[in-house]
Amino acid sequence: MLAILSAALAACQPEPTQSAFDDNAQLTQGAMTLADARAGHATKLTRKENDGAAPDKPPAGVYGLVKFNSPVGQLSAYLTPPPNNGGKHPAVVWITGGDHATIGDVWSPQPRDSDQSASQLRKAGIVMMFPSQRGGNDNPGFHEGMFGEVADISAAVDYLLTLDYVDPARIYLGGHSTGGTMALLVAESDMRFRATFAFGPVTDPRGYGPDFTPYNTKDRMEVGLRAPILWLDSLRSPTFVIEGESGGNGDEVQALARENKNRNAHFFIVKGRDHFSVLAPALDVIAKKIAADTGPTSNISLTQAELNAAK
């Protein structure tokens, strides 16, 4: 798949530029990480868009609406309030699907076969943070099509590390659909996550269409820095990529699995589930795994059988 994508990138006929992808052999050998390649690169947007709408106010006691500092200024996030039982708790940074930069209602009850709220983690007592990103809601900045937003998610981790009720050694990352693709890019760029759970990502976000590509899609550097399939070797902690077998992005997940040579990355296509119904049962399993993951390093593992059996 890397050869196919590299050929596609070459076929874009970019403007002359020093590209991290001029030597694809170097990439396959893992000589360069995504963090290395991103360093110093300033994306050039072909259009500047933002949402402008303030985030919905969450119900008291479920989530608070907080602000955290990012490279473009203060951004909004939903955050679990301090638990009543004290102590330090595991936390998950969760990136929503669709317009992943914008946050909205993640607290109202949803049908189990289409519950995109990650409520299973919250109900298990895990601290949840849903960070918006640049260009989303009424935040500063503009949508960058999964480039600068990566730095915004890392800034959300910085905020979590200041909270006395969060265990700094047990911060996890997750996301669904576009949020799953973002989760992969963030995990490939930021080594602080104990484990990552990416549901239904894609190999290259150009596949989402023009609404998600406010950059020059004929520039190999711009494209390559947003394509998680090129940076699987950069993953440094357990990463679980999950999709349902029916519809969705199953072909994309299989392409990622074929390209992968990193023992930290694990791929699952769950029988009898689709892009949405895979979430709730898998997150039930994951919530229990996180609760039991208390050692000095992560002991989380998943099997195809337990994901297939989850109801």
CATH code of 276's domain:
3.40.50.1820
pLDDT value of position 12: 35
pLDDT value of position 32: 87
- Report if residue 299 sits inside a domain: no
Report the distance separating Cα 54 and Cα 76, nearest Å. 9
pLDDT tens profile 169-203: 999 999 999 999 999 999 999 999 999 999 999 99
CA dihedral 149, 48, 65, 123 (to 10 degrees): -50
Domain of residue 97, residue span: 2-293+304-309
Degrees, nearest 5: CA angle 295-296-300: 55
pLDDT value of position 20: 38
Q: For the chain (length 311 residues), average pLDDT per consecutive 10?
A: 41 35 41 91 97 96 98 98 93 98 97 96 97 98 98 98 98 98 98 98 97 97 98 98 96 98 98 98 98 97 98 94
pLDDT value of position 31: 63
- Report if residue 174 sits inside a domain: yes
- Report if residue 189 sits inside a domain: yes
Report the distance separating Cα 38 and Cα 234, nearest Å. 12
State the burial class of residue 81 (Cβ atoms within 10 Å of its Cβ: 0-12, 13-18, 19+): middle
- Report if residue 46 sits inside a domain: yes
pLDDT tens profile 96-115: 999 999 999 999 999 999 99
- Report if residue 231 sits inside a domain: yes
Do 106 and 100 form a contact (C-beta atoms < 8 A)? no
- Report if residue 298 sits inside a domain: no
- Report if residue 99 sits inside a domain: yes
Total number of domains in the chain: 1
